[in-house]
Amino acid sequence: MKTDKINLNISGMTCVNCSNGIEKFLNRQKGVLKAKVSFASNEGEFEIDKKLYSKDKLIENIEKLGFKVEEDIEALEAEQQKSFLKLKKYFITSMSITILIFIFAFSNLVDASIKGYFIFLLASIVQFFCGARFYKLSFQAVSHKNYDMNVLVALGTSAAYFYSSFVLFFPNLFPDYLRFMYFDGAAVIITFMLLGKYLEENSKQKASDYLKKLMNLAPEYANLLNKNNEIETVLASTLKIDDQILVKTGEKIPADGEIISGGADIDTSMITGESLPVYKKVNDEVLSGTLNTNGIITIKVLKTSKDTTLSKIITLLKSAQSKQIPISRFADKIANIFVPTVIVISILTFIIWGVFLGDFQSAIIASISVLIISCPCALGLATPIAIVSSVSRGAKEGILIKNPEILEKIKEIEYAVFDKTGTLTKGNISVCATNIDDSYFKVIGSIEKYSEHPISKAIVSFIENKSIVCNDMITDIDIIPGHGIKAIFENQEYLLGNQKLLKDHHATISKEHLDFYEQEANKSNGVILVAVNKKSIGSFSLEDELKTDALDTINSLKQLNIKPVLLTGDNKTTANIVAKKLGIEEVYAQVVPTQKYEVIRTLQENSKVMFIGDGINDAPSIKQADIGITLNSGSDISKDAGDIVLINNQLNSIIKSINLSVETMKIVKQNLFWAFAYNTLGIPMAAGVLYPFFGIMLTPMYAGIAMSFSSVTVVVNSLRLKIKRLK
């Protein structure tokens, strides 16, 4: 048996039921061995028996179901954008017309004799133009034996709309006390359901932006050295293993490779999270997408563009994005039982009143009342209104909730995994101590100004903060990559750099200065020695400071029985020192993004995991984790990948996010309980169960009032989130 694996981009899916429907249909086809379709990423992965099935047949079957197969990612994005704008148009139209319906219904702007017909025209636009998607989706859901919220919306709004239409055009069929219209109720339901869909699609639309940005990180072109050692500009994607490429200062490395000549300071922060550039020399490996900050190097290509570390990050992100999140959708689950039950009750009500009791007028009234009172306005509003209130409250607290679904999972988190640089620490190198006399600061600052190295900038900033102007002209200066700076000023030789720089230039280091150097180095601080005329004058010690609220946040997580974990690409010594200061017991250090991703997956085998990071290198972990949190100060890619963005960059907002989610889920459950309790009590009353005992029969008017009251209750309950105190 010859098998073939096929990946397709599928557009036109509007909900999870669409992807489920494609899977179920294709898995029944002879020759299809496996079909997996992701609504989140609009991708399908298929495995077929080439003798029994073909790619063309696969595409034909998908398109028969009413979906489109796009040739490339650009075509898919264009189709998604088109669908999103269409949904936005429907929502705005529905909202505008619904407002008009209420204005005309409760005012005298239109003559009473034609008011009903005018409202009917407006309601018809909402019902069949704006709400057409619900009829289509409910048909698809029923055809796949799945009775979801779309079926409830189509059923309930249709009952209200058509009953009102009959009352308007055939009033003589109804006694005076039954001539009520519910066009406004049907329009409100459709508008709010479109709002929920719009928010969902808006979140999904942005979810893949980070992939496009990540793909653009690697340089498009490379400087290839040909056989004659001449430079040719070629596409980086065409590079082959063993090709030799030249990378100049300020250029990004186009492929994973090994340095065969030269040396340079490489900014690897996007891959490893190292806060300081790392000096790379001959025989050292370098990664695609990292930045050459200082130096000229020649690299031998070790991996093609498809196998680089950067491409693996992209693959991991796609995999993480496609994962199906096991969220409990209360409304849809119960709806699968509720919808058929309502239909059966309505039919039985008509049969009992009409056939057995011979009262066809009461039969019509009671059966319609059952459908109206079961209209899922409160059910439809239960979750969306609570989510909207929660998201707005979060924004007020500096918490941007991009993926509202995580509000249901965050209470189950057992591990809070933190990146170090820029997340727990400030991410800015600064001078924390020095034993150099102030009289040297002006010259040192003037020399360091000639370098763009982060360490040089930190020293200059430290000196200028002391109101010292560093403006001496340095004409004889030599920046030595990986070692430091040598300069001549007023006939004096200055050496600023590591211990090797001073030894190579035969400078002596006094015991006092060596002790200070080793003391600061043992703290895992970066240390820059300074010598004048071959004699040391002291050192600058540099560190990346902890954020002020880091310790409180870690302690608060422990009180919530959430175990903090440190996961960083930084060296083990630095990682362990930071962990000890914060009381973090579990530490993973010197890990690249693929390893971070695997650590998250391992932790997820038995527990729910939250990851907090801010760098490009954190994006796969952020996306893979059950909850991904990123900082506003982080990279655009990490922000796009995250479920929550901390706009205020305060770590204590993590605790507020957890508390907000707990309160939100309480509200959602209360809303759903009320919505179903209302139906449980209201439907029997509408069916006339109480009539033989108390002479009470719920008419469509009171059914509509009860429906509206339940909706108001749900909305008011949800709005409590806006005033709830978050600790």
Distances in whole angstroms, Cα of residue 25 to Cα of each of 32, 138, 300? 10, 17, 49
User: Could you say which of 148, 184, 243, 419 is catalytic?
Assistant: 419
Structural element, H or E, at residue 238: none
First and final C-alpha spacing in the chain: 61
Burial class from Cβ neighbours inside 10 Å (0-12, 13-18, 19+) for residue 435 reads middle
- Residue in 81, 82, 71 with CA at minimum distance from that of residue 8: 71
- Residue in 419, 352, 674, 411 with CA at minimum distance from that of residue 566: 419
In this structure, are residues 57 and 4 in contact, taking their beta carbons and an 8 Å threshold?
no
Distance from C-alpha of 320 to C-alpha of 327, rounded to nearest angstrom = 16
**What is the signed CA dihedral for 294, 300, 302, 303, rounded to 10 degrees?**
70
In this structure, are residues 175 and 364 in contact, taking their beta carbons and an 8 Å threshold?
no
Distances in whole angstroms, Cα of residue 136 to Cα of each of 86, 129, 151, 194? 15, 12, 10, 14
Distances in whole angstroms, Cα of residue 309 to Cα of each of 237, 313, 593? 14, 6, 8
In this structure, are residues 643 and 395 in contact, taking their beta carbons and an 8 Å threshold?
no
**Tokens at 69, concatenated:** 């197969």
**Given the DSSP bridges, would you call strands 492-497 and 484-489 parallel, antiparallel or unpaired?**
antiparallel
Collect all residues with Cβ–Cβ distance below 8 Å to 42 and sequence separation of at least 6.
9, 10, 11, 13, 76, 80
The single residue listed with the structure tokens 């992939």 is 211
Distance from C-alpha of 651 to C-alpha of 445, rounded to nearest angstrom = 34
- Residue in 127, 258, 135, 219 with CA at minimum distance from that of residue 181: 127
In this structure, are residues 585 and 604 in contact, taking their beta carbons and an 8 Å threshold?
no
Q: What is the DSSP letter of 526?
A: E
CA atoms within 13 A on the CB side of 628: 25
C-beta pairs of 465-469 under 8 Å, 24+ apart in sequence:
466/438, 466/441, 468/438, 468/441, 468/442, 469/442
**Tokens at 429, concatenated:** 């190198």
**Given the DSSP bridges, would you call strands 586-588 and 244-247 parallel, antiparallel or unpaired?**
unpaired
* Cα-to-chain-centroid distance, residue 701: 44
In this structure, are residues 259 and 283 in contact, taking their beta carbons and an 8 Å threshold?
yes
**Given the DSSP bridges, would you call strands 563-567 and 413-418 parallel, antiparallel or unpaired?**
parallel
Nearest 5°: the CA angle 437, 439, 442 is 115
Collect all residues with Cβ–Cβ distance below 8 Å to 252 and sequence separation of at least 6.
217, 218, 219, 289, 290, 291, 292
In this structure, are residues 400 and 394 in contact, taking their beta carbons and an 8 Å threshold?
yes
Residues of the chain by 3-state class (helix, strand, coil), percent to 5: 55, 20, 25
504 is catalytic: no
**What is the signed CA dihedral for 685, 689, 694, 696, rounded to 10 degrees?**
40
Distances in whole angstroms, Cα of residue 85 to Cα of each of 69, 81, 122, 560, 669? 20, 6, 22, 42, 32
Distances in whole angstroms, Cα of residue 45 to Cα of each of 6, 251, 394? 6, 37, 37
> Which residues have a catalytic role annotated?
419
